[in-house]
Amino acid sequence: MIDADDLLSLVRNYNPRTNEALIRGAFNYAREMHQGQTRHSGEPYFMHPVAVAAILTEQRLDDATIATALLHDTIEDTKGTYADIAARFGTDVAELVDGVTKLTNLQLSRRESKQAENFRKLFMAMSKDLRVILVKLADRLHNMRTIRHMAPEKQAQKAHETMDIYAPLAGRMGMQWMREELEDLSFRVLNPDARNSILRRFITLQRESGDVIPRITEDIEAVLDRHGLTAEVFGRAKKPFSIWRKMQEKELAFSRLSDIYGFRVITKTEDDCYRVLGVIHQRWKSVPGRFKDYISQPKSNGYRSIHTTVSGRDGKQVEVQIRTRQMHDVAESGVAAHWSYRDGVRAQNPFAVDPAEWLNTLNERIELAEDHDEFLEHVKLEMYSDQVFCFTPKGDVVKLPKGATPIDLAYSIHTRIGHSCVGAKVDGIRVPLWTRLRNGQSVEIITAEGQTPQATWIDIAVTGRAKAAIRRSLREENRGRYIRLGRELARVAFEQLDKKASNKALATAARTLGLPDADEVLARIGSAELSARAVVAALYPELVATAETAEIDAVRAVIGLPPGADIQRAQCCQAVPGERIVGITYPGRGPVVHAIACPALADLDNQPDRWIDLHWTDGRHAAVHNVTVDVTIGNNNGVLGRICTLIGEQNANISDLHFVDRKPDFFRLLIDVDVRDAEHLHAVMTAIDADSDVATMERFRDLSRCPRG
């Protein structure tokens, strides 16, 4: 453990004028208060606040924040009091310590309604002094670094909380390095097999091609030197969780990812950034669609950089980020740049954006939001999303979150435009309403008199504004239908526990959930704002906990089908539990279950009368949902048997296997696997993809299998 002199030395490196008496006094006081306390590892507890303070020195933070880090657990875990800390170290430090204590005492549940309320408290506490959250983030980072000493169930709880709240919060505040480390530490707890598989692939790749980072770094430095450009060049491999997320989002195998390695070029001036870009594009071939200029269009957290992907040495695609030193400081420190010191003076960075403005905006929304869910959607939109910039036909720029659709753009213009939207044109071409918009696209919204929002728009929209407006309209116009649908969903959920969804039971649930009456409960169930299982759990929590351990068979897997209708899954998309679904009626047969993202639905966008709202039954499903995976393997002894064994080890069954291509050095085959849900499918695909003899592996989709009519 570092002592007071070591800590002071770290502070003096960036702030020679530090108040040594304050920091040394806080060090000694905290050590005395924590005397005799130990961590789960058996080490003295005082090692933790010292480590938190050391993390904050890396961000060059002021003396009051460093002292707060040393004292942050004294009010909660020792006999230390607010009054005592204020008397010894001043009101500023005492207020910060008290703020961190209040954040620590928030039990950030993963239940949505409670989580929304905790977010409110979190932001209210942060808005008083942003340094409170900087200490809390450093506290969580050190806890995650040492989490292996905790009980497994506690590790999982902390990892979920970190992944859901603290990591995206760090990212939204511009502290990207902290976000990446928090995500990866959580990933190690929540999915160690997937993380280890990625690390094994890295090792295999390095063994096959050597350490490419130094070689590519030298190549970039050499070409810049030839053109008389002075810059620092750094290379690194992406974090395992970052790679895993891209694999899931793009449904790509590890071998097909283009940005496993990233390189940063730090220049002296903004003009040099563009000169470096030109030199790199002259030397290496740029990859179309992989260029982003965040200097001319900064992210909302102040991030500025040029991103480009090029085909480098040996044809490998690598991402290059180009920015100045001041831009780099903001990219690394985010909000901490507002409090950082250099040579004893507060550093002024023209590119830093004050996150207090963001917090003020959120606090205003707290007052305006109609309910917890609407507020939570606003928060998640702000915290989790990057942005895209689209143009209206008049040339106005509209800023939307990544993944937004034409429906989101329509509602961002005006609620009336959103309500009457019937279609959209992107760059002059008619597209489905669920199309994900990209930077620079021109979007025209097509409206019609008499059009009203459709229930499926809830799943298509991304922004909290659009979702809230759609729900309000649907509640008003379709309340009767939602009550009828909600009654059916409630009946099924109650019958699973051998209970009846009586009026009295629903009225009791309404009081428990803080809703006005039973009809409101049913209306919210029918509009998908409240799950039927949550209503049952409000009345019979123990029975629900017991039922969740039982498997749901295929006959009861889907809710919302007409009475007596069998479940028919469309083979074009092979939807599984965990994926959003919709029912489509076809002449001469019952409804067919499609995934909401199925490309076949594009032809049915103008036939809403054929669409049926469907939901997967909550709980653990039986492994009976067939999915086809497309695998290319090396033609080596024992490979196919090993792949079959890997699938069996994931408790999945192979129902069919078909070779579609045979070559001297590889085979391509389609494997039909029976899985429980989307998570189970990902586990199976990850296990297959981790094998060194698997060249490619992806989910097989075939529109020719789509029902006709």
Active-site positions? 76-77
Asked if residue 509 lies in contact with residue 539, where contact means CB atoms within 8 angstroms, the answer is yes
Please state, in angstroms and rounded to a whole number, the distance separating the CA atoms of residues 109 and 395.
44
The residue count of the chain comes to 709
Q: What b-and-e string marks burial along 306-334, b requiring 16 or more CB atoms within 10 Å of the CB? A: bbbbbebeeeebbbbbbbbebbbbbbbbb
User: Which residues, other chains included, contact 327 with Cβ-Cβ below 8 Å and sequence gap of 6+?
Assistant: 295, 304, 305, 351
- DSSP secondary structure of 553-614: PGGGSEESPPTTPPP-B-TTT---TTS-EEEEEETTEEEEEEETT-GGGGGGTT-GGGEEE-
> Which phi and psi (to 5°) does residue 499 adopt?
-120, 165
Residues in contact with 682: Cβ distance below 8 Å, sequence separation at least 6, in sequence order: 248
Burial label, 292 (beta-carbon count in 10 A; 0-12, 13-18, 19+): middle
Contacting residues for 210 by C-beta, under 8 A, at least 6 apart: none
DSSP symbols for 66-128? HHHHHHTTHHHHSS--HHHHHHHH-HHHHHHHHHHHHHHH----SSHHHHHHHHHHHHHHHHH
Answer for the pair 232, 265: CB distance below 8 angstroms, yes or no: yes
SS3 (DSSP) at 286: strand
**Contact status, residue 122 vs residue 94, Cβ threshold 8 Å:** no
For residue 11, count other CB atoms closer than 10 A to its CB.
23
What distance in Å separates the CA atoms of residue 381 and residue 362, rounded to the nearest whole number? 11
* 363 contacts 124 by C-beta, under 8 angstroms: yes
Distance of alpha carbon 612 from alpha carbon 465, whole angstroms: 25
d(CA 682, CA 664): 30
Contact between 105 and 97 (Cβ < 8 Å): no
Gyration radius (Cα) of the chain, Å? 28
CB atoms within 10 A of CB 467: 24
Q: Return the H-helix or E-strand segment holding 473.
A: helix 464-477
